[in-house]
Amino acid sequence: MKLDGDKGVVAQFLRDCENRGLAEGTVPLYCRQLGLLVRRLEKDGVTDLEDVTLALLRDFLHYLLHPDENDRRFPGAHRQDKGKLAPVTVKSYVSTIKTFFSWCVAEELIKTNPATRLAKPKIPSRVVIAFTPEHIDRMLAVCDTETVLGFRNYVLLLLLLDTGMRVSELCGLRVQDIHSSYVKVYGKGAKEREIGIHPEVGKLVWKYIQKYRRTDDPKQDHVFLSRRGALTVSGVEDIFRNIRLKSSITDVRVTPHTLRHTFAKWYLLRGGDLFKLSRELGHSSVQITGNIYLGDFKSADARQDHEEFSPVGRLSLRKGKKRKRVV
């Protein structure tokens, strides 16, 4: 069975994923990653599903970690030095490959899964540093709010900072999902949740929709648009790349995910509840929130409210009087 083509196995897999209603952004991700795998296999002379081996898949991972010089097939992907893909990105490819070949086995297209022993690269433990208020000011300052795209970018930045939503959730926002005090998003696993928004941000989103959001398609209901239609994840990453260059910020990663971390850290610094934060971020447990988003929350941050929450504050200590010594 051919891997590529309208009647190929990959196309059938993607169609089945669409029919199952996977979260928006998942199917396009599968399409990009499996498309690159198919093209790479074709260079090795492999076009049929039955001919894919574990050795070929391992060669593909090596290519992802050590791409050919001047290779430009990874738009928007996390990169390391010299254009190499970061292990976290390669890990995503491995997950997609395993999902695809498991589907092939379940559909009885092949008897054995060549990706069963395909190992994911080790992800180095790294603390994501949040933005400072100065960083945010510099990022907002490069958005020309007198233009349609500049105002869109200004609102987009503030909405990500205010809600901590994922970039895929931002791109999936529909006009009907915007309410006066909250937005409705559809996260991983097509799970629906509501996230509160600050009144000032709510007014800016309303202004963008009413004044700056322009489309000739009456059926187009996505909130954030590009010149060609709904704004995509790679489109948002391009926006952040341009913001990084214009703002000259080099001491922290200028990405949508850094804004998500910044939202979480600032939320806690301002006295927000960890359980509520976990729900707004769309996590299944508080433990996930703590493990991922508290790495940049230092003891110096935690001690700021010590006096307010210390148990000693419940005591009536006698100032200036010596306690009687108990013999």
For the domain that residue 254 is a member of, what is the CATH number? 1.10.443.10
Give the Cα separation of 150 and 212 in Å (integer): 10
How many C-beta neighbours within 10 Å does residue 237 have?
Answer: 17
Q: Which residue has the tokens 């108990």?
A: 326
| φ, ψ at 169 (rounded to 5°) | -70, -35
Please report the DSSP string for 61-100 in residue order.
HHHHHSPPTT----TT--B-GGGPBPHHHHHHHHHHHHHH
Q: Which two tokens stand for residue 134?
A: 């100065």
Q: In this predicted structure, what is the pLDDT of residue 55?
A: 96
Looking at 64, 89, 106, the residue that finishes a domain is 106
How many C-beta neighbours within 10 Å does residue 138 have?
Answer: 17
Q: In this predicted structure, what is the pLDDT of residue 211?
A: 94
Distance (Å) of CA 310 to CA 125, 177, 314: 32, 41, 8
Say how many domains are in the chain: 2
Give the Cα separation of 165 and 186 in Å (integer): 10
118, 57 contact by CB (below 8 A): yes
User: Would residue 119 count as lying in a domain?
Assistant: no
**265 and 177 within one domain:** yes
Q: In this predicted structure, what is the pLDDT of residue 316?
A: 62
**Strand spans (E) along the chain:** 182-186, 192-196, 225-226, 229-230
User: Would residue 326 count as lying in a domain?
Assistant: no
Q: In this predicted structure, what is the pLDDT of residue 294?
A: 64
Please list the pLDDT of the chain residue by residue as tens digits (327 residues).
Answer: 999 998 999 999 999 999 988 876 788 889 999 999 999 999 999 999 999 999 999 999 988 888 765 555 554 455 544 556 778 888 899 999 999 999 999 999 999 999 999 998 887 666 678 899 999 999 999 999 999 999 999 999 999 999 888 898 999 999 999 998 999 988 776 678 888 899 999 999 999 999 999 888 989 999 999 988 999 988 999 999 999 999 999 999 999 989 988 888 888 878 777 778 787 877 766 666 666 666 656 555 556 655 665 555 556 666 555 555 554
113, 97 contact by CB (below 8 A): no
User: Would residue 117 count as lying in a domain?
Assistant: no
**172 and 75 within one domain:** no
User: Would residue 120 count as lying in a domain?
Assistant: no
> How big is the chain by its Cα radius of gyration, in Å?
24
3-state DSSP call for residue 106? helix
17, 5 contact by CB (below 8 A): no
Query: What DSSP character marks residue 2?
Result: B
User: Would residue 321 count as lying in a domain?
Assistant: no
User: Would residue 182 count as lying in a domain?
Assistant: yes
**171 and 76 within one domain:** no
Q: Which domain holds residue 164?
A: 133-306
**189 and 59 within one domain:** no
Q: In this predicted structure, what is the pLDDT of residue 76?
A: 46
**94 and 185 within one domain:** no
Q: In this predicted structure, what is the pLDDT of residue 73?
A: 56
**226 and 97 within one domain:** no
Chain centroid to CA 315: 46
**Rounded-to-5 percentages of helix, strand, coil across the chain:** 55, 5, 40
Buried b (16+ CB within 10 A) or exposed e, 43-69: eeebbebeebeeeebeebbebbeebee
Closest CA to 163 of 204, 194, 131: 194
**152 and 75 within one domain:** no
Burial class for 275, CB neighbours closer than 10 Å (0-12, 13-18, 19+): exposed
State the DSSP H helix or E strand holding residue 159, giving kind and residue range, or none if neither: helix 148-163
**298 and 197 within one domain:** yes
